Amino acid sequence: MHALSHTTGAIGVSSLKLRWLGHRLPGAAAVEVDAAALHGAGHAETDVKGELFNLDEFTITPGRAH
């Protein structure tokens, strides 16, 4: 996803899930982040919600890049 890949500290996205549930759009992503910029994963949710206005909930799970 474009918004996740441009988040500061994000190196890659290992999984992304979005699902329509009635009139709601929850989602989740596992984002690989630079260990020195781990706080950047917190900004990823804001970045994604700025791109997908119908998104209700979005969970970011940060992980270290290998």
Topology annotation, domain 2-64: Alpha-Beta Plaits (3.30.70)
Query: Do residues 39 and 66 touch, judged by C-beta distance below 8 A?
Result: no
Q: Cα separation of 14 and 3, whole Å?
A: 14
CA 17 to mean position of chain CA atoms: 10
Q: Which strands form 25-33's sheet, in the order they lie side by side? A: 10-18, 25-33, 55-64
Give 36-47 pLDDT, tens digit per residue: 666 655 677 777
Q: Which residue has the higher pLDDT, 59 or 22?
A: 22
11-27: pLDDT as tens digits:
888 888 989 888 888 88
Burial class (CB in 10 A: 0-12, 13-18, 19+), 64: exposed
At which residue do the structure tokens 């989740």 appear?
28
